[in-house]
Amino acid sequence: MYETSLRTAMTELGASLFDRGYSSGSSGNMSVRLPDGNILATPTNSSLGRLVPERISLVSIDGELLAGDKPSKECTFHREIYKARPGCNAIVHLHSTWATALSCLSGLDPADVLRPFTPYYVMKVSPLPLIPYFKPGSQKLFDAIARQARESAAMLLANHGAITTGKTLEQAVNAAEELEETAKLFFILQGKDVRWLTESEIAELKA
């Protein structure tokens, strides 16, 4: 059954992210949109490293709990992203170390936080707009994410973490991993003479 395989995939990929330090405690969440429009989402206060397939929340696009445990409060912005991006079928939200550190810097370009310097960042993540700081779980944050989701497949939440999306769960996870590694490289390269990708190189990659 397709839903069963997705529950298993969420459990396995969540554990993989947790075991490699991309998530800690009960932080972070993920979701997948089913063909019928309903959503599988990680439950509230759950650890990505200890998900139980049958306890993963099944909710409607309007937020009605259909099966499993109560979903994370941040499932609200997952639902808004799905409404805004018809081609999106999976969302990953992490408080991973390097991306979160990046989100805490002042003076970031809100239109695109990271100037591209690797091809895979361009192909899997860029551009990366910045969502202003709002209290986690607040309607103001959810509204800001929903507005940005109409234009962006990934975004950085100020002083909070990152959101990546994809046509599949694997694609969303891959984007989250690529963003984390790129943020790590960004800090490693501070004070160095970086060779940034040119506009023509970026255009070639996007094409």
Q: What pLDDT digit, counting tens, does each position of 31-62 carry?
A: 999 999 999 999 999 999 999 999 999 999 99
74 is known as an active-site residue: yes
**pLDDT for position 39:** 98
Q: Is the dihedral of CA 135, 126, 15, 67 positive or negative?
A: positive
* Count of structural domains, the chain: 1
Q: What is the pLDDT of residues 106-124, one digit of tens each?
A: 999 999 999 999 999 999 9
Task: Please report, for the domain that includes residue 164, its CATH number.
Answer: 3.40.225.10
Which residues on adjacent β-strands are paired with residue 41? 31, 57
Instruction: Tell me how far the alpha carbon of residue 170 is from its chain's centroid.
Output: 12
End-to-end CA, the chain: 36
Out of 3, 80, 120, 181, pick the active-site residue. 120
Q: Out of 22, 74, 177, 180, pick the active-site residue.
A: 74
Q: Which are the contacts of 43, defined by CB distance < 8 A and separation ≥ 6?
A: 55, 56, 57, 68, 69, 70, 71, 72
pLDDT for 93 equals: 98
- For residue 191, pLDDT over 90 is answered with yes
Q: What's the CA angle centered on 176, arms 174 and 181, to 5 degrees? A: 95
Asked if 120 is an active-site residue, the reply is: yes
Domain with 141 in it: 2-206
Q: What residues have CB less than 8 Å from 51, skipping those under 6 apart?
A: 10, 11, 14, 15, 42
Q: Which band of pLDDT confidence, cut at 50, 70 and 90, is reported for residue 205?
A: very high
Give the pLDDT confidence of 61-82 residue by residue, as tens digits.
999 999 999 999 999 999 999 9
Q: Tally Cβ neighbours within 10 Å of residue 152.
A: 21
- pLDDT of res. 1: 66
Task: Tell me the sheet residues that pair with 91.
Answer: 31, 165
